[in-house]
Structure 1
Amino acid sequence: MTETATTPVTLTWHADERLGDDLRALLCGPGGPFERRVEPVLGVPTEVFAQRAPNVPAVLKGAVERTPDLTYLAFADGPGRGFTYAQVLQLAAAHAEVLATRYGVGKGDRVAIAAANGLEHVLTIWATVSLGAVVVGLNGWWTPDELDHGIALTDPAVVLGAGKPLTRLRQTRAASSAVSLEELYEAATSLADPPATLPDVEIDEDDPAAIMFTSGTTGRPKGATLSHRNFVHFGMFGGLGGAVAALLGAGGRQVPPGVQRASICSNPLFHVSGVCVVLCNSPMYGIKLVFPPQGRWDAEAALRLTHEHKLTQWTGVPTHFWRMLTHPGFERYDTSQVTTIGSGGATFAPELLRLFEEKMPGIQITNGYGMTETTGTGTFLNGREMDGHPASVGAAAPTIKVQVRDPDGRPLPEGEVGEVHISGAGVFLGYWRDPEATAKVLTGDRWYRSGDYGRITGGVLYLESRMRDLIIRGGENIYPIEIEYRLVEHPDIHDAAVIGVPHTILGQEVKAFVVPRRGAELTEQQIRDWVAVSLASFKVPAHVEFRTELPYNETGKVIKRQLESG
């Protein structure tokens, strides 16, 4: 249909239509791995993948049936730290046994985890979802006060942690009941008669699987509740999109036949970007996940793992890639086997794309736009779209619909700016125990109001602004209001405002504008120390500017545009 200037536009995925008929039928035709059809999802007709796993545990079971001895997880923190799909299933089953018998975890219960990435963390996630329980991903960098909020909201049956996050858990109201992940692992591996497979629990695909926290515009983070369906479809979105992009690609790097795909797993498991890769992408497509050493992310360690494990793909945020490509030792490591780059959460600067072409020619780059509430899925940019529309965030992902709407919720025609709305099987169930917040972002027919503003032009989405106040620092979403609330609690601060300022590597950094109370004397370090007491380190202002007053408009709102322009 020819669009006119007034015809509302809906972005949908059509990349498979560029394939030959035989190939398209093999992939997407009846009985094909990516066959699609319309079914009711929570009462709303929705395009779904027909040949999908019924729930998340079935994904792991399927991987074990296909390739039991293929390496699934590899760790850099010790020799021989590699685990096959069959080994992970057996260990996860033992963990589920301990969670059920020792801690009384059953279907629908919440299991909260605050920890860095690690084997015990992965096994506990699998054990939890296999019981029909709900993983609560507590941010490992949160302060005790922030952890208390997440625990109080979700009321978990058990709270687990490791390392520094466990230390902070033991400063919360849940201190007496916090359990070490290592203790759980020891109990699971000491069972006299461990189960051979995952527990037999009836799990509907629209049952909740995880609660992932997302920074809220009203201060405290909200718990976005993701279903088994959400996770299963995430893996299938990426599988189909990647397969078609590879088939349509002109040349470029390719994984040789018979070589296992392998990826570094640097995104934290309390983020949707990390947990989806572990639960979906890897077991669905036989990808080995290599975990860097725990602690601060290190570019040289990532390059060394790329060399040693013959990684075929990198996933992360642009900050990671900047640091690897500009590392002085880059040339010492073999990166020639890396064929694809996968990212999301921040745009690729033109300079970064040029650097990839210079140092890793032929690499295939995919960048996604989505959010926790859509299981990280919305649009993606790769291949032709990246070449032809480098400033956009791409076309709709498979089975996803994207519209730009006016303030009254009416879809807008091409080229007009409005709020981005997303629908599909990846849209979350809602915010945990917060129906009011859920109603503000989910329409009656389950379109998610993103709060981002953009326009659709030429079959792709362009963002005009990502929620005016949102700061994206190294892939972390930060809402200034939370920091502002903390600042004005200081007895010597009269007023405060927070914005994001550009940073070459991190994308953005936090900057605070502070108005001291009359007669008070404050230093930048005092401001940082005050924020650090209650908020995670990535929210602490890197820059502080003192002012005598802040600019306000006639409705009493701070005019942040003036602060941004200096």
Structure 2
Amino acid sequence: MANQPQTHPNVTIDPNSGFNSQTRTFHSLRPNAPLPPPTHPLSLTDYTLSLIPSTAATAIIDSDTDTHLSYSVLLRQIKSLASSLKSLIPSLSKGHVALILSPSSLHVPVLYFSLLSLGVVIAPANPLSTPSELTHIVQLTKPVIAFTTSSTSTDIPNLQLGTVIIDSPQFISMLNNFNNSESPQVEVAQSDLAAILFSSGTTGRVKGVELTHRNFIALTGGFCHTNLMTGNPEEEIESKSVSLFTLPLFHVFGFFMMVYTIALGETLVLMQRFDFERMLKLVEKYRISSIPVSPPLVVLLAKSELVNKYDVSSLKILGCGGAPLGKVVLESFAARFPNTIIEQVRKNFIF
């Protein structure tokens, strides 16, 4: 979907749909989001971190260990890791592809932002990929280095710059080397490739989609601007949003929602493995206000008797993507959750 164009006397845009009959394209009817000039060098990392409100407190919570990561420590770890990577692996350069195989953890967002700040292209893949799928992904992306956990590293082939184990003591020391946390000066163009994200493989072998820093900057800026224009500042001061992530961070939906949540300065609660009743317990424990979900999860919330065992009154918004919800499901959900809004996210939400 394109942004609103400048007005021309011979161009008519339908005020209800945004359809331009001359170019046969749809344009957003929302006001243009204030975005940086496309020619201005800027990584997704620098743009996202520049949006974080000064009042932001807790960034990420690992629900398995109840470990909290504050925004101040998050920012320091991103700089520390980027600096350590450049120091310890000087051959790692802008434009190189890094394969990432890891379940969701506190380290993964730090790793993403650090690599993106260096101009390294991230290729996060499903850590449960079979050896055959992994071979195919390596052939597609041609990574020079891999980042993985001790439990998912066995099937990775030998790569030019080796494999880094992100749950190892060495990696933890790279995260927390705050005495050497000067950010390396790497000029990243918005048109540079940022990530290769993969399809789920439901229609054959997985496919990789190349996305630039500008793709994500435009998407993040547009969503954040919409949130700013429609939100209630008094409510934001009283209670910051807490999002529960049942989505894997290697998936496009999970990856973008992670970036968006950090940009807003909100709190992200991670689940490594999905379990419906445990999800309900976490909603109650952390007073979760929003969850990015798939349609089957909306059906479960609407119909399962387990919901009645827990206090889920904090839920305000569900962002649903993957497929449209049916009318019956929406009505059933609204009857049980009259104060919760469902925002349906289009499949082509990246532009």
For the residues of structure 1 that align with 2:258 and 2:184, how far apart are their CA atoms? Answer: 20
Secondary structure of 1:210's counterpart equals strand
For the residues of structure 1 that align with 2:211 and 2:344, how far apart are their CA atoms? Answer: 22
For the residues of structure 2 that align with 1:210 and 1:109, how far apart are their CA atoms? Answer: 11
Alignment partner, residue 56 of structure 1: 44
Tell me: higher relative CO, structure 1 or 2? Use CA pairs within 8 A at least 6 residues apart: 2
Deviation at 1:333, TM superposition (A): 2.1
The alignment status of 1:203 with 2:182, answered yes or no, reads no
Of 238, 256, 277, 1:300 maps to: 277
Alignment partner, residue 463 of structure 1: none
- Structure 1 residues 255-314: Cα deviation after superposition (integer angstroms, max 9, x where no partner): 5642111111222121111111222x123212211112x23x111222122112112211
1:377-392 to 2 correspondences below 5 Å: 377=350
Alignment partner, residue 216 of structure 2: 231
1:468-507 to 2 correspondences below 5 Å: none
1:133-148 to 2 correspondences below 5 Å: 133-148=120-135
| Matched length | 331
- Normalised TM-score (structure 1): 0.53
- Normalised TM-score (structure 2): 0.83
Of 118, 128, 140, 1:131 maps to: 118
Alignment partner, residue 222 of structure 1: 207
More strand by share: 1
**Does the Cα contact within 8 Å between 1:299 and 1:327 map onto a contact in 2?**
no
1:39-188 to 2 correspondences below 5 Å: 54-63=42-51, 66-67=53-54, 70-79=57-66, 81-103=67-89, 104-162=91-149, 164-169=151-156, 172=157, 177-183=162-168, 185-188=171-174
1:517-528 to 2 correspondences below 5 Å: none
* Partner amino acid, structure 1, of 2:280: L
- Structure 1 residues 480-517: Cα deviation after superposition (integer angstroms, max 9, x where no partner): xxxxxxxxxxxxxxxxxxxxxxxxxxxxxxxxxxxxxx
* Partner amino acid, structure 2, of 1:57: T
Secondary structure of 1:187's counterpart equals helix
Secondary structure of 2:61's counterpart equals strand
- Structure 1 residues 332-386: Cα deviation after superposition (integer angstroms, max 9, x where no partner): 3222222211121111122321122111103222112234xxxx33xxxxxxxxx
**Does the Cα contact within 8 Å between 1:73 and 1:84 map onto a contact in 2?**
yes
Unaligned runs of 5+ in 1: 17-27, 29-33, 42-51, 248-253, 378-425, 427-566
Deviation at 1:140, TM superposition (A): 2.1
For the residues of structure 2 that align with 1:192 and 1:205, how far apart are their CA atoms? Answer: 28
The alignment status of 1:291 with 2:273, answered yes or no, reads no
> Aligned in 2, Cα 1:323/1:162: closer, same or farther, shift over 3 Å?
farther
Secondary structure of 2:314's counterpart equals coil
For the residues of structure 2 that align with 1:15 and 1:175, how far apart are their CA atoms? Answer: 46
Alignment partner, residue 4 of structure 2: none
> Aligned in 2, Cα 1:2/1:148: closer, same or farther, shift over 3 Å?
closer
Deviation at 1:215, TM superposition (A): 5.8
> Aligned in 2, Cα 1:159/1:256: closer, same or farther, shift over 3 Å?
closer
Alignment partner, residue 340 of structure 1: 317
**Does the Cα contact within 8 Å between 1:115 and 1:166 map onto a contact in 2?**
no
Deviation at 1:211, TM superposition (A): 0.9
**Does the Cα contact within 8 Å between 2:287 and 2:314 map onto a contact in 1?**
yes
For the residues of structure 2 that align with 1:101 and 1:352, how far apart are their CA atoms? Answer: 53
**Does the Cα contact within 8 Å between 2:144 and 2:161 map onto a contact in 1?**
no
- Structure 1 residues 96-141: Cα deviation after superposition (integer angstroms, max 9, x where no partner): 2232232332211111101111112222111111111111112223
Alignment partner, residue 276 of structure 1: 256
* Partner amino acid, structure 2, of 1:312: S
1:525-564 to 2 correspondences below 5 Å: none
* Partner amino acid, structure 1, of 2:84: V
Deviation at 1:60, TM superposition (A): 4.3
For the residues of structure 1 that align with 2:258 and 2:85, how far apart are their CA atoms? Answer: 20
- Structure 1 residues 366-414: Cα deviation after superposition (integer angstroms, max 9, x where no partner): 112234xxxx33xxxxxxxxxxxxxxxxxxxxxxxxxxxxxxxxxxxxx
- Structure 1 residues 62-95: Cα deviation after superposition (integer angstroms, max 9, x where no partner): 256x32751111110113x111222111112222
Secondary structure of 2:247's counterpart equals coil
1:7-26 to 2 correspondences below 5 Å: 7=21, 9-15=24-30
> Aligned in 2, Cα 1:155/1:349: closer, same or farther, shift over 3 Å?
same
Identity fraction in percent: 23
**Does the Cα contact within 8 Å between 2:35 and 2:218 map onto a contact in 1?**
no
Secondary structure of 1:193's counterpart equals helix
Alignment partner, residue 180 of structure 2: 194
For the residues of structure 1 that align with 2:95 and 2:161, how far apart are their CA atoms? Answer: 23
For the residues of structure 1 that align with 2:251 and 2:214, how far apart are their CA atoms? Answer: 17
**Does the Cα contact within 8 Å between 1:344 and 1:369 map onto a contact in 2?**
yes
**Does the Cα contact within 8 Å between 2:34 and 2:221 map onto a contact in 1?**
no
> Aligned in 2, Cα 1:327/1:218: closer, same or farther, shift over 3 Å?
closer
